[in-house]
Structure formats: C-alpha cells, structure tokens
Structure 1
Amino acid sequence: MVGVSRSTRDAFARLGCPVEYETSREPARLRDWLKLLRVHQWSKNILLVVPLILGQAFFQYHALLAVAVGFVAMGLVASGTYVVNDISDIVADRLHQTKKMRPIARGAIDAGQAFCVALVLILAGFVIMGTKSLPATGWLLAYLVGTLSYSLFFKSLPMIDVFILGGLYTLRVVIGICLAGTQLSHWLLMFCFFFFFALSMAKRHVEITKAAARPGAGVEIKGRGYRTTDAPLTLAMGVSTNLVAVLILSLYVASDIYPRLLYKDPQWLWGTVILVMMWSSRIWLLSHRGELDDDPVSFAIRDRLSLLMGLVTCLFFVLSMR
C-alpha cells in the first residue's frame, strides 16, 4: 500500500489479506516534480533546430523566435505525456528494480494530481504552438496521439514500438521545418527515420541483453513483448538500419545539398557523415556490451566523447559555409 488513507488501510485490515509492503505518502519536492516531468528529456527537442541550421535560417529573427517558442511548447506536451505514461505504468513500475523509485510509483506525487498537471501542460503546449504555426500545431497533435498510443497500447508490441519511436523523433524535425519555414527535404526525413529507428532498436537490444544476463531469467521480457532469444535479430536489424541511415545521409549531401548551392564549401560536410557513422557505431558497440544505460540521445548529451564529436561536427558545418 502506497500512501493510502486510514479508511483504505482499515478496509484492507477487514479483508484479512497479508500486506507485504506499506509506505506513507511523502511530501512532494521540486526534485520529484522535475523527475516526473522529465525536464532533462527536453534536450530531445533540439531536433527542432536541425531544419533551422541546415536551411541557414538562423539569422532570421522570426524563424529563431518561432523555433524557440516551439521548443518550449514541445517540451510541455512531452512532459505531459511522460506523466500519463507513468500513471499507466504505475503497477509495472512498482515491480521494477529501479522504476519503483519514480515519484508516482513510490507515492511521492498523487496520480490524480499528476494527471491534472499533465492536462494543463498539454493544453498549454498546444496554445503556445498555435501562436506560431498552425501546421506545426497539427503535427504536434500527431505527435501527441503517437506518444499516447505508444504508451498505452504499442509499447509491448515488438518491432512496432521501434517504428513508432523512429516516427516520433522524425516528427520533431517536421515540426522544426514548419516553424523555421525552410524547404522540406525528403532525404533528410528518411535519414531521420532510419537513424532514430536504429537508435531505438539499440535501446531495445540493450534491454534484451541485460535481461538475458540476469540469473534465472526467463525467455519472455515482461511488458516489452521481446524475448531474450531475440538479441541476434535486434542486433542485425539495428546495425543494418544504422548503415542504411548513413548511406541516406551521404545521398542527402550529394543529391540535395550540393545542387542547392547553399554551402560555399560543401565538401566539409563529408566529415559530418563520417562522424555520424563513428558515433552511431560506438552506440551499437556499447549497446551490444550492455553498457548503454539510457536513451541514446540522452546519453549523447552527457557523454564527453559524444559532445566532442558534436563540436567537431559543428566545426565542419561552419567550414562548409565559409
């Protein structure tokens, strides 16, 4: 029993059922709310800036303002969906080794109160996005539907889950295109889908390898739909899709960037292609070893080598614009 009232506790006592564990409700702290809202996950919304940079619209004030406002709106909606996800997973989280310490699962924050906050955040996000771009608001609605359907229905369906995750990441780029008002590149969108599909598969692969390494582990991975015997398949699909993404990025540079003459020295962008391949290959190496403990995008923001490679990538981009 987690944070139950006296009347609920008395009702359990009358049933004569043994209570394995009981904890009183703790007063919610600011740190609990920040953890619940996953504010650190807002870093994924940096993908909204990608069309702004590639379209060289970063000197346009209106485009910069629209993307900045969209970043906040996207973050609010994402935080609201994370809360809904935690509410739907409350039972499974309490049985999980680490997720049982999430604020709702351990009773620090009431689920009903959290749900009201989630609704306010989602509505606020849509209102804010609507002030800048109606097309972006429409795509944000698609993102909301996709995220909620993933959390409530598709998370436990193998392969379908990573397809949805890859699509949700790609939607962030689409929203960024609408906000920045840049030209749509199908090469860029296809690269994003294949690339983030591969990264999502890397996260699943590490979950499978860790589950298989636990003593007495069964074949089925509870709540995911995958089996410990699926590791060779997820490895093959993930690595091959990652290489396809790098190939599409190469074709994007050769077939889209070069003909548009946006860059004075576009040959420097080939260095970016190489770095993307190096970084993603390292992600898969860590995943296969079971050393990737977080979402690859969140990992990259904290990993020093990833940040260094990101800085070098920015250098190549600057050199291409001289």
Structure 2
Amino acid sequence: MYVVESADIPELPQPREVVPEEAAKARPHLVTDLFRLIRPSHAAKAILLVPIALVDTSLWSLTALGEIVLATVAFILASAAVYVGNDIADRHRDAHHPVKRHRPVAAGRVGIRLAYVYCAILLGLLGAIVGLTPGPYWPILAYLVINIAYSGFLKHVPLVDVGTIAVCFVLRVIQGYEVTGGRAAAWLLVTVFSISLLLLIGKRRQELKSGAAHRPALRGYSMELTNWLLQIASVLALLSGLIYLRDEGPFGPQYGQTAMLLSTPFALFALFRYLQIQLIDDDGGDPVRILLRDRVMVANSVLWAATLGVTLLLAHHLVPL
C-alpha cells in the first residue's frame, strides 16, 4: 500500500520531539508540585503542637529535646502522607472547588501512579523513624487510622467531620508528652480540641460560600449554624485555656493565677480578631495562613508568649508571690 502525497492535502501535525533542554525545564515544575502536594505550610501544626510538652520544665533534657524533634518530623511525614492520600481520593471532587482544583493531583500535573509512589515513600520514612527510635508512637498510628476512616466515610458526616480532625490535633500534643514521658494535662487537651474546632468551623463557614459540591458534609451546615458553633467553640476555648493556666500549667500554684490573669486580655483579643476576620473581613478559609501571616494575630501571639515566658521565669527562679 502506497501513500500518495498531495499538495492539496495538508500534512498532519507530527508529534514534536521533546529536546533535553525542555525536559530539564519541566523537572523543577514537577519538584515544586511534589513539594506543594505535602502542604509544607501545614507542617506548622506539628512544629507548634508536638513540642508543647517542653513547656513542662521538668521534662527538659537533651534526650527529651532530641525525641521531640524526631516525633515532630514523624508527625510531619504522617501528615504529608495523609495529604497525598486525600488528594488522590478527592481529585474528582476537588476539581469542583475554585481553589482546590489547582492542586497538583486534581489539576493533573502529578499523575496518580507517581502520587501513590510518593505516598509510599513518605510512609516508608515514617516507618523508619518509628521502627528505629525507642518510645511510644501510638498517637501517630492512631492518627493514620483515623485519617483512613475520615477519608472513607467520616468526612461526609456533618459535625463528625470537624470533630475527627480536631482529635488529630490533640494527638499531636499527646505524642509530644508520650516521647518525653510526661502526662498531658486534661484541660490542655480540651483547649487544643476546642481551638481546633473553632478554626475548622470557621473553615467550613467559608467553604459554604463556594457551594457544597466539593464537600458533601457541607449540606449539614448553614451560615446560621456555623455562627452559633463559632460562639460555643470560642467560649470553650477561652475558659478551658485559662483554667489550664491557673490549675495545671507549668507556673505552679503561686503563679498560676497570675498567668491566667495576664493571659486573659491576650486570649480575648485573639478570639476577637479571629471572629473579626471571619465575620467582617469575610476570610478564614485557611486557618494556618491566618495564624502565621496575619500581622495583628502574630503580634498578639508574640506579646502573649513573651508575657508568659517572663512569668514562667519568675515562677521557677524567684521567690513566690
């Protein structure tokens, strides 16, 4: 069979050969997408929560510090693997979201097979830390199990979805105490849980404005309901945090009440600012960005931390009040 070329028939476009220079330029984009896939900014969750155990001065030692660092890295790896797995499972639903549709897997820039391999590598690194490092790591294992259940069905159940994620924040704090041999205060865990709920409910409130197609659980929420839930979570976070500082914090019986009194204006202002961002500025879809990049929130947090730091120094190195 012979093919006769004709000047009247245009040639079909031939596949363009990719030159090595173009392939080299494509690689940095893939590396960037893989980096974005693990949500690097969200590593702050582990960096801020796991080392809370070191607030208890009785746990301070070089060994404890090293174990905290390893536990933090382990939780970062666990979270990264969960993010990759969620993006694989939710790629079709994320395509309907105005922001999430730009994620590497949903946008098709990272293939499914590569994403699975990437997730396996992250879990392998996590397994190496857990297997080679002495110490209990059950909170991380519980975190992975809960997230498997969350990805499977819990994320579709209204109210249960935010409660499940809030528990995962609490597990980060517990992991820090587990590796240092301490005991997490009950009111501290309640505080972390209620603050997590507050931020998550605010996130759901913002998601309602983009429609419920990308998250079926949003059908169980409304703007009025989220407004009420924000109030309840705010009150619980404020009261539990102040009670922790007074009764179970590292300040001792003499300085606990002082720490509570000094913290009250900072805690109230932080809540007021967050509610202002939610209700007036109409923002709050990304809690990590608000906590780390909002200048007012950051300034308040720095002043608050400095105040408590001075109080802690006085409590352990000067005579009681």
Q: Shift in Å at residue 252 of structure 1?
A: 1.5
Pair 1:153 & 2:144 matched: no
Deviation of 1:229 (Å): 6.8
What's the CA shift for 1:249? 1.5
| Cα drift, residue 231 of structure 1 | 1.1
User: 1:112 offset after TM fit, Å?
Assistant: 1.1
Shift of 1:245: 1.7
Matched, 1:79 2:80: yes
The structure-2 alpha-carbon separation of the partners of 1:222 and 1:31, relative to structure 1 and needing over 3 Å to count, comes to closer
Report SS of the residue matched to 1:29.
Answer: helix
* Structure 1 letter corresponding to 2:151: S
Gaps of 5+ in 2: 1-25, 315-321
Deviation at 1:180, TM superposition (A): 2.6
How far has the Cα of 1:59 moved from its partner? 4.3
**Match of residue 317, structure 1, among 294, 297, 308:** 308
| Pair 313,224 (structure 1): closer, same or farther in 2 beyond 3 Å | farther
- Partner SS, residue 142 of structure 1: helix
Distance 1:50 1:198, change over 3 A: same
Q: Could you say which residue in structure 1 is the equivalent of 2:283?
A: 292
Supply the distance in 1 between the matched residues of 2:58 and 2:121 (Cα, whole angstroms).
32
Matches within 5 A, 1:1-322: 28-45=29-46, 46-53=48-55, 55-56=56-57, 59-135=60-136, 137-208=137-208, 210-211=209-210, 222-227=214-219, 230-257=222-249, 260-261=252-253, 267-289=258-280, 291-321=282-312, 322=314
Change (3 A) 1:133 1:177: farther
Is 179-188 or 161-170 further displaced after alignment? Answer: 179-188
Q: Secondary structure at the match of 2:106?
A: coil
Deviation for aligned residue 1:58: 7.1
SS in 1 for 2:95: helix
- CA shift, 1:66, in A, is 0.7
When the two chains are superposed, the root-mean-square deviation of aligned CA atoms in Å is: 2.4
In 2, distance between residues paired with 1:133 and 1:162? 32
How many residues align? The count is 286
Deviation by residue 1:216-245 (Cα, 9 ceiling, x = unmatched): x6xx55423224971111111221121112
Separation in 2, partners of 1:276, 1:140: 29
TM-score for both structures, normalised by structure 2: 0.81
Tell me: CA distance 1:171–1:274, structure 2 relative to 1, closer, same or farther (3 Å): farther
What is the TM-score when the length of structure 1 is the normalising length?
0.81
TM-superposed deviation, 1:290: 6.0
Residues 79/303 of structure 1: CA separation in 2 closer, same or farther (3 Å cut): same
CA deviation map 1:266-310 (0-9, x unaligned) = 614432343223212321222234632543234211221121112
| d(CA) in 1 for partners of 2:297, 2:251 | 30
Name which of structure 1's ranges 271-280 and 153-162 shifts more when overlaid on structure 2.
Answer: 271-280
Larger-gyration structure (1/2): 2
